A = this chain, B = another copy of it.
Amino acid sequence: MISDHPTTSVLLVEDDRNMCYLLQDNLFSNGYKVETCHDGKEGFRRFRETHFDLCILDIMLPRMDGFQLAAKIRLINETVPIIFLTSRSMEADKLLGFKTGCDDYITKPFSLMELNYRIQAVLKRSPKHADQNGTYNFRLGIFEFDSRSRVLKSTGGPEKKLTPKESKLLKLLCEKKNELVTRSFILNHIWGDDDYFIARSMDVYLTRIRNLLKPDQSLEIINVYGTGYQLLEK
């Protein structure tokens, strides 16, 4: 089968090595780029670190089941299509209540042909936010910011090297420049979790970013009480 998708990247989370390997091989030979892992937590960590066009999640997984994983994925990406691998005993109810428009599920045992068909269908429906993670460079007031090398350069000034967390936070704010970003959105995207202490940690980073941006008076990160933040470029 010849590929018609330049490099669609797939996150495959499957506990059973046997099955995992079979699927990986099938996907690979269909031209997809595949990353596999074998438990939910690792799956989520991967998802946060990289960009994927499709997730295939087993339901029964160690450390965090497929539903929980999908829920966490949905918190940070509303659109990426997810295909669940279920066992026959799974009640369709639970699944139907869960999956969104772009998702699908397939009951084990299934044929590879069937899976491939569903993948194609699900990708066709998916809006392909192509540029989702494609932008790494931002122009921001007097600054230029490269989120990959984590360098914030002020035109005609010195450049500063940011830490990974600083960089992610600034990137997120840049992506949503002049938009309101909720606290929980930031927390789930960058920290992958949202509790009291992590929120305090975020406060610290907000302060740092504000300090970094101080040289340019036209930039401001304003707080919307009880809701979130907004990076304004005046």
Contact = CB atoms under 8 A, between A and B. Distances in A.
A19 interface: yes
Given A222-B149, A225-B163, A180 B21 contact: no
Interface string A1-42: 000000000000000011101101100110000001000000
A213 B165 CA distance: 25
A21 B164 contact: no
A216 to B, nearest CB: 14
Range for the number of chain A residues in contact with chain B: 35 or more
A218 B36 CA distance: 31
Contact of A149 (B101, B164, B234): B234
Nearest to A21: B101
A42 B49 CA distance: 28
A62 interface: no
A111 interface: no
B220 A101 contact: no
Given A79-B21, A127-B29, A148-B232, A165 B225 contact: yes
Copy total for this chain:
2
Given A25-B127, A127-B25, A163-B225, A18 B101 contact: yes
A100 B163 contact: no
B163 A21 contact: no
Given A149-B232, A227-B49, A78 B21 contact: yes
Nearest to A234: B149
Interface string A94-108: 000001111000000
Nearest to A230: B148
Contacts of A45: 227
Given A49-B180, A150-B222, 19 more contacts: A17-B100, A17-B101, A18-B99, A18-B100, A18-B101, A21-B78, A21-B101, A21-B102, A22-B101, A24-B78, A49-B224, A148-B222, A149-B222, A149-B232, A149-B234, A163-B225, A164-B223, A164-B224, A164-B225
17 contacts: A17-B78, A17-B100, A18-B99, A18-B101, A21-B100, A21-B102, A25-B127, A28-B127, A36-B78, A49-B180, A49-B224, A50-B180, A146-B234, A148-B222, A148-B230, A149-B222, A165-B225
